[in-house]
């Protein structure tokens, strides 16, 4: 069965700390990978995506993620977090060919203290 | 601005009642989705529709029903058969199939009185 695993349910950081959120997936086939973010009181929005090409992808607000095919991973990173990055982050995966729905991880709640 | 509108934002239901959640999009997207979000569980797919007049069950379809009579609209009915309906419901749409990014509405929070 297809699955997505996010390593941490809750992460607490101080401002300016570096961030890495883990995401591993179990899928048979070529995949498209996404990170979504849900700020408090706001709708889910796309942070970044990987379809093909350079495995290091850059998204909005200084976030980046690296696709490591051999490790089935797509970890999210940011060198220096801000208080405004407090949000819930979701990794999602789908097959890149044919019709496939998104499978989401359970989410990681990030709290950045000022 | 194009987007997805979910209404109402908050909804209360008495036990034994059916309730319908609205989802409208003006993005001209073919595919639409309904998810349920519970704390610590992420998003779980209830139903999805790739095209008008067609829809498929997702991972947790029991106790729910949908219709897709118009491209712009994908209402979700939570029936009395759904044993634990209290949750946050999210509607999404995408340009097509094949793993395209999904755009989400603001959600509807359903509570049982």
Q: pLDDT, tens digit, for every residue of A24-38?
A: 999 878 899 999 999
Residue B33: closest CA among B12, B15, B54, B50: B50
Residue of B nearest to A41 (CA): B106
The answer to whether the CB of A54 falls within 8 A of the CB of A68 is: no
The answer to whether the CB of B101 falls within 8 A of the CB of A49 is: yes
- A50 — pLDDT class (breaks 50, 70, 90): very high
Instruction: Report whether pLDDT(B27) > 90.
Output: yes
- B97 — pLDDT class (breaks 50, 70, 90): low
Structure confidence at residue A16 (pLDDT): 97
- A51 — pLDDT class (breaks 50, 70, 90): very high
What is the torsion angle, in degrees rounded to the nearest 10, for the CA atoms of residue A84, residue B45, residue B8 and residue B41?
-50
The answer to whether the CB of B33 falls within 8 A of the CB of B92 is: yes
Q: What is the mean pLDDT of chain B?
A: 92
Structure confidence at residue A53 (pLDDT): 93
Structure tokens at A79: 């060198």
Q: Which of B58, B98, B104 sits opposite A43 (nearest CB)?
A: B104
Q: What is the mean pLDDT of chain A?
A: 93
Q: Hey, is B42 helix, strand or coil?
A: strand
Give pLDDT tens digits for B42-95: 999 999 999 999 999 999 999 999 999 999 999 999 998 888 999 999 999 998
Query: In Å, how far from its chain's centre is CA B78?
Result: 10
Structure confidence at residue B51 (pLDDT): 92
Instruction: Report whether pLDDT(B40) > 90.
Output: no
Residue of B nearest to A35 (CA): B101
Contacting B residues, span 54-113, partner chain A, CB-CB under 8 Å: 58, 90, 92, 97-99, 101-107
Structure confidence at residue A79 (pLDDT): 97
Contacts of A80 (CB under 8 A, 6+ apart): A15, A16, A17, A18, A62
Give pLDDT tens digits for A5-22: 998 899 999 999 999 999
The answer to whether the CB of A45 falls within 8 A of the CB of A4 is: no
Structure confidence at residue A2 (pLDDT): 82
DSSP assigned state of A61:
G
Contact B40 A107 (CB under 8 A): yes
Q: How far apart are the first and last CA of chain A?
A: 41
CB proximity B10 to A under 8 Å: no
Choose the most confident range, by mean pLDDT, from A39-48, A76-85, A89-98, B36-45: A76-85
Question: Burial of B53 by CB count in 10 Å (0-12 exposed, 13-18 middle, 19+ buried)?
Answer: exposed
Interface A-B: count of C-beta contacts within 8 A: 55
Q: Which of B42, B106, B107 sits opposite A90 (nearest CB)?
A: B42
Structure confidence at residue B1 (pLDDT): 62
Structure confidence at residue A95 (pLDDT): 83
User: Helix, strand, coil % (nearest 5) of chain A?
Assistant: 10, 55, 40
Chain B residues with CB under 8 Å of A106 CB are 40-42
Structure confidence at residue B16 (pLDDT): 87
Query: In Å, how far from its chain's centre is CA A46?
Result: 10
């Amino acid at each position: 069965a297809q699955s997505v695993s996010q390593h941490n349910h809750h992460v607490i950081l101080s401002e300016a700390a570096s961030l890495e959120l883990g995401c591993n997936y179990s899928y048979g086939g070529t995949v498209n990978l996404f990170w979504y973010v849900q700020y408090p009181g706001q709708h889910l929005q796309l942070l970044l995506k990987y379809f093909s090409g350079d495995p290091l992808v850059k998204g909005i607000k200084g976030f980046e993620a690296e696709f490591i095919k051999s490790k089935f991973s797509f970890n999210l990173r940011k060198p220096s977090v801000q208080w405004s990055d407090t949000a819930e982050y979701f990794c999602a995966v789908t097959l890149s060919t044919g019709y496939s729905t998104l499978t989401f991880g359970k989410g990681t709640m990030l709290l950045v203290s000022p | 601005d194009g987007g997805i509108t979910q209404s109402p934002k908050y909804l209360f239901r008495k036990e034994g009642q059916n309730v319908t959640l609205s989802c409208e999009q003006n993005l001209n997207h073919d595919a639409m989705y309904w998810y349920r979000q519970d704390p610590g569980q992420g998003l779980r797919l209830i139903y999805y529709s790739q095209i008008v007049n067609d829809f498929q069950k997702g991972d947790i379809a029991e106790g729910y029903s949908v219709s897709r009579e118009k491209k712009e609209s994908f209402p979700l009915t939570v029936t009395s058969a759904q044993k634990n309906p209290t949750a946050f419901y999210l509607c999404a749409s995408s340009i097509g199939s094949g793993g395209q990014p999904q755009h989400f509405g603001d959600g509807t929070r359903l509570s049982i009185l």
